[in-house]
Amino acid sequence: MALKEVSPLFVTAETTELRLPSRIEAIDEAATAVARLVSRSGFSEDASFAIDMAVREAIANAVIHGNKFDESKFVEISVQRSPDSLEISVHDQGSGFNPEAVADPTEEENLLKSSGRGIFFVRNFMDEVYWLTPPEGGTTVRMIKRTNP
């Protein structure tokens, strides 16, 4: 089964790191791992839903737009739990990404577009979101959700 290749590199009570091949199945795998940490972090049901949604959208972006479904490329996810927040980083091996270039899907002229809402959901559902372009290449999205915003 394909998902057998997908295994946590390192798991403690505070941190989970995953390295997943660029497939749609990576979305569920990452979301499940994050949900395990979220369930122990004291988030409300709404906040847990928001984190799940943001993680799924970030992984989908990494697989589709970052790595372009190239299974020789990986999506790396790091989740760190601290007493007051959860920080999730999603890194792809794509050619880079400018979040400012993404059109606002809530503008009148974009309402009927069939795509372009993933980044909007990530921004909307997390307390802080940063897109980074590390020197080794690719894009990292760093998302933070505070336990008591």
Residues of this chain that interact with another protein (CB under 8 A) are 24, 27, 49, 53, 56-57, 60, 64, 105-106, 111-115, 117-118, 120-121, 124
- Closest CB to another protein among 61 and 89? 61
- Which one-letter amino acid corresponds to residue 88? I
If the CB atoms of residues 101 and 111 are measured against another protein, the closer one turns out to be: 111
| 67 contacts 56 by C-beta, under 8 angstroms | no
In the complex, what is the shortest distance from the CB of residue 46 to another protein, in angstroms, rounded to a whole number?
9
User: What is the Cα Rg of the chain in Å?
Assistant: 15
Q: Quick one: which of 9, 6, 38, 58 has its CA closest to 146?
A: 38
> Among residues 2 and 13, whose Cβ is nearest to another protein?
2
Nearer to another protein, 66 or 81 (CB): 66
Q: Cα angle at 101 between 95 and 103, to 5 degrees?
A: 130
CB of 76 to another protein, least distance (A): 20
Q: Is 92 exposed, middle or buried (0-12, 13-18, 19+ CB in 10 A)?
A: buried
Of residues 55 and 81, the one with the C-beta less far from another protein: 55
The answer for 122, left when phi > 0, alpha when psi is -120 to 50, beta otherwise, is alpha
Residue 131 C-beta: closest distance to another protein, Å: 17
What is the closest distance, in whole angstroms, from the C-beta atom of residue 91 to another protein in the complex? 20
Q: For the CB of residue 113, give the shortest distance to another protein in the complex, in Å.
A: 7
